[in-house]
Structure 1
Amino acid sequence: FVVIDLSAGPCTYGKIETEEGSVSPRTLPRIRSILFPGGLASVSNRATHDNFMGHLAALVATTVEHVIAPDVRFETVDLTTRLLIPIIILQNHNRYNIMVKGHNYSIDIEAIEAEVKKLVHDDQEVVIIGGSHALHHHEKLAIAVSKAMRGHSLQETKRDGRFHVHTKTYLDGAILKEEMERSADVLAAGLLEMADPSLSNKFFLRQQHWMDESENSTDSVLKHKPLWASYNSKVGKDKKKKKQKKKGDLHPTYGTRVIPVFVLSLADVDPQLMMEDESFVWTGNDVVIVLEHQSPNIPLSYVSETERRHAIPSQAQRHIVAGLASAVGGLSAPYEKASHVHERPVVNWLWAAGCHPFGPFSNTSRISQMLQDVALRNTIYARVDSALRTIRDTSEAVQSFAAEYLKTPLGEPVKGKKNKSTTELWLEKFYKKTTNLPEPFPHELVERLEKYL
Structure 2
Amino acid sequence: MAVTTTAFFLLLILTAAIATTSSAPILGLDTFLTHQSRLDRQATNDSFLSLSSTLRNSLSHSTPLSHTPHSLISSLLSLSLPLSLHVRLVGSSFPSSSASLLSFFLSASQSSNHFHVIAPYEIHSHRLAVQHSLHLDVSHSPSLASQLSKTLNSELEKTPSSLRSPLLSIPYDPIDQIIKQDFEKEKPVPGVYLYFLNLGPQSKPYAYNYGSGDSSAAFTKCLGSIWTGKDRYIWIDLGAGPVDYGPALSGDGVLPRGEFHPLAALHGRPKAQKALLADLASLVWSAYQVLLVPSLRIPVQFENSLIVQFIHVYGSEGSKDSSGLDWKSIERTFMDEAHDNGLLLGDQSLRFKTYRVSYSECPICSFAISRSINSYTSRFLFDNYTLIASEYLDSKRLHQILSDSAEEFRRVAGFPEEDFGRVLPVYVFDLDYSMLLLLDRYHQSVAFKDMVIAVRTKNTQTVSDYSCNGRHVFTQTRELERPLVGSILQSMWGVSPTHMLWSPRHNTTLVDYTWSVGQTPFGPFSEVSSLSFVQKDAARRNVLLTSLNYSITSAVDVLESIAAHGGERKLLKSSRHVEFVQRWNLFKYKLDKAVSALSHLDFEMALYYLRSSDHDLYAIHSLVYHASQEVEASLICFKDPPVPWTGIWLIALAFLFVFYLSKQQKLFRNKSKQF
| Partner-residue secondary structure (3-state), 1:177 | helix
Structure 1 portions without partners, runs of 5+? 34-41, 189-210, 212-219, 225-249, 404-425, 431-444
After TM superposition, give the deviation of residue 314 of structure 1 in Å: 1.0
CA distance in 1, matches of 2:235, 2:382: 37
CA contact (8 A) 2:319 2:432 kept: no
CA contact (8 A) 1:355 1:364 kept: yes
Residue 258 (structure 2) pairs with residue 258 (structure 1): no
Aligned to 1:36: none
In the alignment, the residues of structure 2 paired with residue 268 and residue 65 of structure 1 have an alpha-carbon distance, to the nearest angstrom, of 42
Q: Is the 1:262–1:289 Cα contact (8 Å) retained in structure 2?
A: yes
Where do residues 45-444 of structure 1 align in structure 2 (5 Å cutoff)? Answer: 47-78=271-302, 80-98=303-321, 100=322, 103-108=323-328, 109-114=330-335, 117=338, 118-155=342-379, 158=381, 165-182=387-404, 184=406, 220=412, 251-253=417-419, 255-270=420-435, 272-276=436-440, 278-400=442-564, 402=565, 426-427=567-568
- C-alpha change, 1:104 and 1:370, in structure 2 (3 Å) is closer
Q: Which one-letter code corresponds to 2:242 in the other structure?
A: P
> How far 1:395 sits from its partner (Å)?
2.8
**Deviation, structure 1 residue 88:** 0.4
Query: How far 1:348 moved relative to its partner?
Result: 1.1
Q: What displacement does 1:172 show?
A: 1.5
Work out the CA distance in 2 between the residues paired with 1:163 and 1:21.
Answer: 29
Instruction: Specify the SS of the correspondent of 1:358.
Output: coil
Distance 1:318 1:30, change over 3 A: closer
Match of 1:177, as an amino acid?
H
CA distance in 1, matches of 2:294, 2:439: 25
Q: CA deviation at 1:116?
A: 6.9
- Whether contact under 8 Å (1:119, 1:325) holds in the other structure is no
Over 3 Å counting, the alpha-carbon distance change for 1:164 and 1:2 in structure 2 is farther
Partners of 2:277 and 2:552 lie apart in 1 by 39
SS at match of 2:234: coil
2:238–2:266 CA contact under 8 A, matched in 1: no
Extract unaligned runs of 5+ from structure 2. 1-232, 581-675
Change (3 A) 1:115 1:291: farther
CA contact (8 A) 2:294 2:501 kept: yes
Offset at residue 349 of structure 1 (A): 1.4
The aligned amino acid for 2:394 is D
Comparing 80-89 with 110-119, which one deviates more in the overlay?
110-119
The separation in 2 between residues aligned to 1:68 and 1:52, in whole angstroms, is 23
C-alpha displacement at 1:278, in angstroms? 1.1
Deviation at 1:298, TM superposition (A): 0.6
Distance 1:7 1:110, change over 3 A: same
- Judge conservation of contact 1:115–1:367 (CA < 8 Å) in 2: no
- C-alpha contact 1:21 1:350 (8 A) present in aligned 2: yes
The alpha carbon displacement at 1:327 in A equals 1.2
- What is the Cα deviation at residue 360 of structure 1? 0.8
8 A Cα contact 2:311 2:356, kept in partner: yes
**TM-score between both structures, scaled by the size of structure 1:** 0.68
Deviation of the 1:71 alpha carbon: 0.5
Higher RCO, 1 or 2 (CA under 8 Å, sep at least 6)?
1
Deviations 1:298-342 (A, max 9, x none): 100111122110111111111211111111221111011123444
Residues 389-432 of structure 1 show CA distances to partners (whole Å, capped at 9, x for unaligned) of 222223333433x15xxxxxxxxxxxxxxxxxxxxxx13669xx
Whole-angstrom CA distance in 1 between matches of 2:247 and 2:291:
20
* Cα deviation digits, residues 233-264 of structure 1 (max 9, x gap): xxxxxxxxxxxxxxxxx7432x3221100011
Deviation at 1:387, TM superposition (A): 1.4
State the shift of 1:447 in Å: 7.1
Partner letter of residue 432 of structure 2? A
> What displacement does 1:344 show?
3.2
Q: Provide the aligned C-alpha RMSD in A.
A: 2.9
* Residues 1:115 and 1:330: Cα distance change in structure 2 (over 3 Å): farther
- Contact kept? 2:307, 2:423, Cα under 8 Å: yes
With over 3 angstroms needed to count, the CA separation of the structure-2 counterparts of 1:312 and 1:299, relative to structure 1, is same
2:378 touches 2:387 (CA, 8 Å); kept in 1?
yes
Q: Distance in 2 between matches of 1:128 and 1:389?
A: 34
State the distance in 1 between where 2:552 and 2:337 align: 28
Asked if structure 2 preserves the Cα contact closer than 8 Å seen for 1:74 and 1:330, the reply is yes
8 A Cα contact 1:113 1:128, kept in partner? no
In the alignment, the residues of structure 1 paired with residue 355 and residue 568 of structure 2 have an alpha-carbon distance, to the nearest angstrom, of 61
Secondary structure, counterpart of 1:391 in structure 2:
helix
* 8 Å Cα contact 1:115/1:366 also seen in 2: no
Distance 1:331 1:338, change over 3 A: same
CA separation of 1:163 and 1:396: change in aligned 2, threshold 3 A = farther
CA contact (8 A) 1:91 1:135 kept: yes
- Partner residue of 1:7? 239
Within 2, Cα distance between the matches of 1:256 and 1:29? 44
Flag the 1:53–1:81 CA change in 2: closer, same or farther, 3 A: same
Decide whether aligned partners of structure 1 residues 343 and 148 sit closer, same or farther in structure 2, where only a CA change above 3 A counts: farther
Distance in 2 (alpha carbons) for counterparts of 1:447 and 1:273: 69
Residues 66/303 of structure 1: CA separation in 2 closer, same or farther (3 Å cut): same
- Structure 1 residues 450 and 16: alpha-carbon distance in aligned structure 2, compared to 1, 3 A threshold: same
- How far residue 168 of structure 1 moved from its aligned partner, in angstroms, is 3.1
Mapped partners of 1:159, 1:352: distance in 2:
33
Distance 1:122 1:84 in 2: 16
1:371 partner letter: Q
- Identity among equivalent positions (%) equals 20
Distance 2:492 2:344 in 1: 8
User: 3-state SS of the aligned residue for 1:181?
Assistant: helix
Q: Report the Cα offset of residue 147 of structure 1.
A: 0.9
The amino acid that maps onto 2:327 is I
Count residues in correspondence: 342
SS at match of 2:319: coil
Q: Evaluate the alpha carbon distance shift between residue 29 and residue 319 of structure 1 in structure 2; reply closer, same or farther with a 3 A threshold.
A: closer
Counterpart of 2:250? 18
Larger mean CA deviation between 171-180 and 55-64 belongs to: 171-180
